[in-house]
Structure 1
């Protein structure tokens, strides 16, 4: 009986979140029309985003299975023993999660194997709340969870880490909009709608910028921060990519492209290069080898952070 109550409570909370998100999406659409902003939404594109979100809901259980075993093992062998719910621990976990998220997000733009998942989120050509729920079905297959595994190994409970990541994504839902122009002094500290629009833009000066989750401070510290260019209108969607509306094509399109490039690569080194090189150069297999590609990619990211 207790288990049934817990299951019912979980589904009730999930339903509340879903209906609240749909409500905010509808409100944003209404306000954009009220402001005579006809360019903020593409209904077919929004429908694709919602379809992808529904599909992600069904594959979430499989993704949870990928994460559960390594997280349980890491927590069983944790280095420190402390309460994850104490105020100091929660503050430390917040900043640690933000730091890990920043580097996971940044490398997802630099390594094609990770980009194959993250590209799904960058494919919308309209910046609105429906774009926020266009998330990959394969993020954990790409290894995103590995960036947060050290937090569990330190001693933070897996549920605390997952909860803090949930808070991160909850906040980010609201910054996928063009209706909010500026938050004043908060722009220095928080990842705001203005900063996140730059991140999603495919204009040259905006590429690979503003990777923060809730905070923008790590972008400022590590040289990946950018303001919107003053003399350009922001364009959204994948750089050089056509608008796509087929949910399956959006979710698996880059994976298919990787498979095609691997099949055409002439050597093992070149095949591995297709997986680990930066997305914009990975389609040109190189004789330098996969190991050198990883080293060069990491050097560009860490030594020349503005690139």
Structure 2
């Protein structure tokens, strides 16, 4: 535990064997047994792309992590409280971090700059455990780390904050599947595979819903929850149509840059191309189509 707190970025690497075992079981007991739809299938080009994206994301986290941690320690000097971590404070940190994650996730669908990174995760038209690996190396550049600064300002030690962020992401692995239907009565509190399948859907009523990390209570409180009713159509409404991890990573950044640099466009429009919701998103909670 002390080693992981000193090097929290190692947490996901340490759990990699567990993740890979879950993928094998999902494939063998669900897909090979013919119990899951085609959208859950493991296609080798897709899986290879997902794993490559996950590796690139992990490398980016390792490279930027030291710098971000140093920034957190600088902010920590201005903390409001001296929190001595124990089990109770750890649970409080996980709750607070999950709340911050909800707002990061919601902003990632409502601000195009953040969506340029997050769209990588949504660009797959399949849903299985390998989809959880489909992450962007651009998250540190997009500013994901900013959303955890309030936790450091309150007084949670930076190493613990980073550990809680990565633990939250690790716990979300289990919701990227069609093999598990839901969590039964625990769906009232926790984000489940059913809730998260909705989040990955491009069905009009599913777009920009269910932003939860671990707890679904935030969506219920802030009016962004929708239950899974009809079959989910996975992906984004402007498909990337590539298994090249670099194309998948930079597709939306390229399109955003093109809109910013379009000739004859006002500065207000250029700013909106970066900070407004992605094109074809409507008002929050009333989106038409997601790019």
The normalised TM-score by structure 2 is 0.89
1:135 shift after superposition:
0.7
SS in 2 for 1:109: helix
* Partner Cα separation in structure 2 for residue 104 and residue 65 of structure 1: 21
Q: Is 1:45 equivalent to 2:43 in the alignment? A: no
1:57 shift after superposition:
2.6
Is the contact between residue 237 and residue 243 of structure 1 (CA under 8 Å) also seen in structure 2?
Answer: no
- CA-to-partner distance for each residue in 1:190-213, whole Å, 9 max, x for gaps? 000000000011100100010111
1:88 shift after superposition:
2.8
* Partner Cα separation in structure 1 for residue 219 and residue 170 of structure 2: 20
Unaligned runs of 5+ in 2: none
Q: Which moved more, 1:261-270 or 1:186-195?
A: 261-270
SS in 2 for 1:34: coil
SS in 2 for 1:26: helix
SS in 1 for 2:80: coil
Q: Which has the higher contact order (CA 8 A, sep 6+)?
A: 2
1:58 shift after superposition:
2.4
Aligned residue among 251, 257, 260 for 1:262: 260
Is the contact between residue 201 and residue 237 of structure 1 (CA under 8 Å) also seen in structure 2?
Answer: yes
Q: Is 1:168 equivalent to 2:162 in the alignment? A: no
The normalised TM-score by structure 1 is 0.84
Q: Which moved more, 1:175-184 or 1:263-272?
A: 263-272
Aligned twin of 1:149? 149
Aligned twin of 1:186? 186
Change in 2 beyond 3 A, CA 1:263/1:13: closer
SS in 2 for 1:204: coil
Change in 2 beyond 3 A, CA 1:228/1:38: closer
* Partner Cα separation in structure 2 for residue 12 and residue 192 of structure 1: 25
Aligned twin of 2:107? 107
Is the contact between residue 50 and residue 130 of structure 1 (CA under 8 Å) also seen in structure 2?
Answer: yes
- CA-to-partner distance for each residue in 1:235-273, whole Å, 9 max, x for gaps? 111123243211100011111111111111522221111
Question: Quick check: which has more Rg, 1 or 2?
Answer: 1
RMSD: 2.3
Q: Which moved more, 1:235-244 or 1:103-112?
A: 235-244
Aligned twin of 1:64? 65
Aligned length, in residue pairs: 279
* Partner Cα separation in structure 2 for residue 82 and residue 169 of structure 1: 24
Is the contact between residue 176 and residue 196 of structure 1 (CA under 8 Å) also seen in structure 2?
Answer: yes
SS in 2 for 1:264: coil
Unaligned runs of 5+ in 1: 283-296
SS in 1 for 2:110: coil
1:87 shift after superposition:
2.8
